[in-house]
Structure 1
Amino acid sequence: MGAVRGTASFASISLVLLLMALLHAQGTAPAAPLTLVSRDGRRPLATTIVNGQELVALEDLAALFLFDVREDTLAGGLTVVYRGQSIVMSPGQPMALVRGRVVPLPAAPVRSGARWLVPLDFISRALAPIHDTRIELRRESRLLLVGDIRVPRVTARIDAPGPPTRATIEVAPAAPVTITTEAGRLIARIDADGLDLSGPIEGAGLIEGIRAGEQPRTVAVLLTARAGAAMAVAGETGGVTRITVEVTAPAADAAAPAPPREPAPPPPAPATRPPLQTIVLDPGHGGDDAGVRGARGTAEKDVTLAVARRVRTLIETRLGVRVILTRGDDRAVGLDERAAIANNSKADLFLSLHANAAPSADLAGAEVFHLRLDREGEDARRAAESEAVALPVLGGATRTIDVMRWDLAQVRHVDASAALAAVLDEQLRAQVPMGSQALRQAPLRVLTSVNMPAALVEMGYLTNEDQERQLGSEAFQSSLAQGIYNAVLRFRLYLEEHRVS
Structure 2
Amino acid sequence: MWSTLVLGLFVLAARHLAGQGGAGALTLVARDGRRSIPIAIVNNREYVALDDLAATFQLAVREESGALTVSYRGRTIVLTPNQALASVAGRLISLPAPTARAGGRWVVPVEFISRALAPIHDSRLDLRAASRLLVVGDLRVPRLTMRYEPVGTGARLTVDATPQTASVVAQESGRMSIRFEADALDVVIPPVQAQGTTAIVQAIRAADPATLAIELGPRFAGFRASTQTVDASTRLVVELLANAATETAAPPPAPPPAGELPTFGGPTATIRTIVIDAGHGGEDEGTKGANGTMEKDVTLAVARRLRAVLENRLGARVVLTREDDRSVPLDERTAAANNNKADVFLSLHANGSIRPATSGASIYVAAFTDADRSAAALAPARVPIFGGGSRDIELVPWNLAQIRHVDRSTELARILEHELETRVPLGARPIEQAPFRVLESANMPAALIEMGYLTNDDQERQLAGAAFQVAFVQAVADAIVRFRDVLSAGSGADR
Q: Please give the TM-score of this superposition, normalised by the length of structure 1.
A: 0.46
Tell which structure's C-alpha radius of gyration is larger: 1
Q: Please give the TM-score of this superposition, normalised by the length of structure 2.
A: 0.46
